[in-house]
Amino acid sequence: MSAGRSSARFRGKVAIVTGGGSGIGEAAARRLALEGAYVVVADVADDAGEAVASNIGGQFVHLDVGNAAEWAKVVDEVESTRGGIDLAHLNAGIALGAYPVVVEELTDAEYERIMSVNADGVFHGIRAVVPSMKRRGGGAIVVTSSLAGVGPHPDDPIYAATKHFVIGLVRSLGCPFKEHGITVNAVCPGAVDTPLLDATGRRDAIEARRRPLMIGDDIAEAVTMLLAGSETGHVYTVMSGRGAERYEFPGIPGMPST
């Protein structure tokens, strides 16, 4: 479905999108609103988040995803005003400023911050929204990981580690959530043209390697597909010129497939 055509497949649904003030999150928030959802845009960038929420007729909430108390407050607020949460796109993520990353030169503060947002933020988000979804009779969660979550990324091993964490969580939660009517899946984009590239110096490295950049709408297409679908515990890569493709993990030698 093209980004310019609306539908009603999410009509009556309440969605929350983290990192919704720009990039992939903004594109997903706009797509969800276009398809009928009431969207709660969550971000630490107040001006950007408020602008997106106002433009799509949704609601903005300030949220540091790595803070469990803030998550609880946001979910309580959404439940009191909108009745609950049906859909969640846990998209907020950061990368370290220096590139390539030299592990032995990382400060404690740098390491703790990226783990807080990229790993803890996903855990806190899932833990906060699932009870609300259970009360609504089901729901859907899509987490933004990265191609770095399914393969090595020597230039930024800590970022890769956080994205592998996300993949492990999603694949492990698919089965136990299924009995409650909740799906959880992940998207793993390649390089996307977002403000993060300029802020961390990654754009120059990507352009030097002649890798084509995608735009947020390319990923939003995959996100909404998974939010509307019934499969769970799966991972989809999204690469320029290829679209969304389900990633098949190799089995473990000597272990039966599950």
Phi, psi of 125 (to 5 degrees): -65, -50
Is pLDDT of 3 > 50? no
Rounded distance, CA 23 to CA 214, Å? 11
Q: Give the tokens for residue 40.
A: 């709660």
pLDDT tens-place string over residues 134-163: 999 999 999 999 999 999 988 899 999 999
CA 48 to chain CA centroid, nearest Å: 18
Active site residues: 159
| Lowest-pLDDT range of 2-11, 126-135, 157-166, 222-231 | 2-11
Rounded distance, CA 26 to CA 220, Å? 9
Q: Give the tokens for residue 168.
A: 């492990």
Rounded distance, CA 124 to CA 130, Å? 10
* Contact (Cβ atoms closer than 8 angstroms) between residue 219 and residue 24: yes
pLDDT class of 112 with cuts at 50, 70, 90 = very high
* Contact (Cβ atoms closer than 8 angstroms) between residue 27 and residue 219: yes
Residue with the bigger pLDDT between 194 and 199: it is 194
pLDDT class of 4 with cuts at 50, 70, 90 = very low
Is pLDDT of 98 > 90? no
Q: Give the tokens for residue 183.
A: 């799906």
Kindly indicate whether the domain formed by 14-244 is annotated with CATH number 3.40.50.720: yes
> Across the strands, what pairs with 188?
237
Phi, psi of 87 (to 5 degrees): -130, 140
Residue with the bigger pLDDT between 198 and 141: it is 141
pLDDT class of 251 with cuts at 50, 70, 90 = confident
Q: What is the residue extent of each domain of the chain?
A: 14-244
Average of pLDDT values for 5-21? 90
* Contact (Cβ atoms closer than 8 angstroms) between residue 10 and residue 33: no
